[in-house]
Each structure stands twice: as C-alpha cells, then as structure tokens.
C-alpha cells in the first residue's frame, strides 16, 4: 500500500512542479528538512516524547490577495517512549518509532509577503507499524499486561491538522509547525479482543509532533 501511495504522490507532485514552473509570480518550489519531537497522547500508557526528523518537497503558489496555497510531501521518522518493565524487573523506557510519508494541502496567510506567513490545513499520513528494538520486545508496558511487541500494529492511514509559521526571504525560510493526529492511531489494536483484555480496556491515542525545519526555495 505504501508503494502505490508514494507512486501517486510522486506523480501529483511532479505534475504540480511543471504546472508551477512557468509561473514565477510568487510561486516557489521548496526542499525542506529538520528535526522533530513527537509524543503519544494517551491515557492507556505513560508516554514520553522522543526526537526524530522529517524532510521533503513543497510547491507554494499564489491563491488570492494575501493568501497562498501549499502542496507538499514529507517523509518522517518519529519516536516516543513508553514506561515499561523488563524481564529482569528493571524499570525502562521502551522507545517506539513510527515512519512513513505525509501529503499536505495548506492555506497560507502572508503576514509580510515573501517573508512571514501563517500556514494551516489538513495532512494525510500513511505509516507502517511501530518499530521497537528486539531486546525490548518482551518489556511489559506499565499499567498493562502487554508486551511491547504486541502494540506495534497501529492504524496505517491517519489524518493530522497542521499549524505553522515560516519566516525568511524568497530563497531560505525557517519553518516551525505543530501537527496533531485527529484520529485514534491506536484504533487498529482494538480489533483484537485479547489485546483489549491485556490492556484493561479500549486503546485510544493521538500522535502530536512539533518540528523545526529549514526550507530552501529553488
């Protein structure tokens, strides 16, 4: 599924580049990358934020008056930790990672044209299962009877809301944004009644990410 998703996104993004390239009036093609901090907001587990990274491409085009539209794709790698207990009964923070791709369609309000803007809009996220180091797979998640490896199969298609600000000039911008997952990213785990029993109830969690990036416009 991820392969077909990326093919479609690449086609749409490439088409957008050629469509925008001939119109230089405020339109920009950008490459960005930077670090991120993510956390899982849930009452099921005791979670702690972790550091990851993200990077990708975007096309910004004039829309109406002081508004622009941004279409972009990013690849991401997010981490967070859950408090757990190892087989030796030692307390340990077990790190999980989530990676995948995102497609965003944003409305941008230009506070100062070509220099400062506020950006907001929806993001479609396609990710794989959560990953955990092999040595930590049998750690018991605190407050449950679950092993770390039993909660890896999370929801693969998710929706996020994006709020950000960018500042700089036509060539280089600093971008800071926050994304919050509007759907239950743990909902896929609710399909297994045995897991719900070990958890002591339904699974519910939302992923939140703050990111700082540098954008280079071509």
**Does residue 15 register a pLDDT over 90?**
no
Cross-strand pairs, 16: none
**Does residue 175 register a pLDDT over 90?**
yes
Q: pLDDT tens digits for 43-69?
A: 999 999 999 999 999 999 887 888 999
Mean pLDDT of the chain: 90
For residue 64, what pLDDT is reported? 81
Do the Cβ atoms of 73 and 103 come closer than 8 Å?
Answer: yes
For residue 63, what pLDDT is reported? 78
Pairwise pLDDT comparison (80 vs 12), residue with the higher score: 80
Pairwise pLDDT comparison (216 vs 1), residue with the higher score: 216
For residue 24, what pLDDT is reported? 47
What's the rounded Cα separation, in Å, for the pair 146 and 49? 20
What's the rounded Cα separation, in Å, for the pair 174 and 117? 11
Phi, psi of 155 (to 5 degrees): -65, 135
Per-residue pLDDT, averaged over 207-213, amounts to 98
The enclosing H or E element of 37 equals: strand 28-42
Question: Half-sphere exposure of residue 149, counting CA atoms within 13 Å on the CB side?
Answer: 8
Do the Cβ atoms of 19 and 201 come closer than 8 Å?
Answer: no
What's the rounded Cα separation, in Å, for the pair 121 and 107? 6
Per-residue pLDDT, averaged over 175-198, amounts to 97
**Does residue 26 register a pLDDT over 60?**
no
pLDDT above 70: percentage of residues in the chain? 88
Extended strands (E) in 65-183:
67-85, 91-112, 116-127, 131-132, 140-141, 157-168, 172-181
Per-residue pLDDT, averaged over 6-30, amounts to 53
Q: pLDDT tens digits for 112-158?
A: 988 999 999 999 999 999 999 999 999 999 999 999 999 999 999 99
Residue that is written with structure tokens 């944004």 in the block: 177
Question: Half-sphere exposure of residue 179, counting CA atoms within 13 Å on the CB side?
Answer: 26
Pairwise pLDDT comparison (20 vs 30), residue with the higher score: 30
């Amino acid at each position: 599924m991820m392969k077909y998703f990326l093919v479609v996104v690449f086609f749409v993004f490439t088409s957008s580049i050629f469509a925008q390239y001939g119109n230089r009036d405020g339109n920009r093609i950008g490459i960005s990358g930077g670090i991120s901090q993510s956390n899982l907001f849930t009452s099921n587990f005791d979670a702690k934020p972790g550091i990851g990274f993200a990077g990708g491409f975007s096309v910004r085009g004039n829309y109406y008056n002081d508004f622009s539209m941004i279409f972009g794709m990013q690849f991401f790698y997010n981490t967070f930790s859950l408090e757990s207990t190892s087989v030796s009964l030692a307390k340990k923070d077990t790190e999980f990672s989530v990676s995948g791709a995102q497609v965003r369609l944003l409305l941008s309000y230009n506070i100062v044209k070509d220099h400062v803007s506020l950006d907001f809009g929806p993001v479609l996220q396609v990710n794989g299962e959560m990953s955990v180091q092999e040595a930590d797979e049998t750690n018991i998640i605190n407050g449950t009877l679950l092993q770390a490896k039993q909660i890896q199969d999370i929801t693969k298609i998710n929706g996020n809301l994006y709020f950000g600000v960018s500042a700089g000039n036509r060539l280089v911008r600093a971008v800071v944004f926050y994304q919050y997952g509007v759907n239950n990213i743990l909902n896929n785990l609710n399909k297994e009644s045995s897991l719900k029993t070990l958890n002591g109830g339904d699974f519910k969690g939302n992923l939140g990410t703050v990111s700082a990036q540098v954008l280079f416009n071509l």
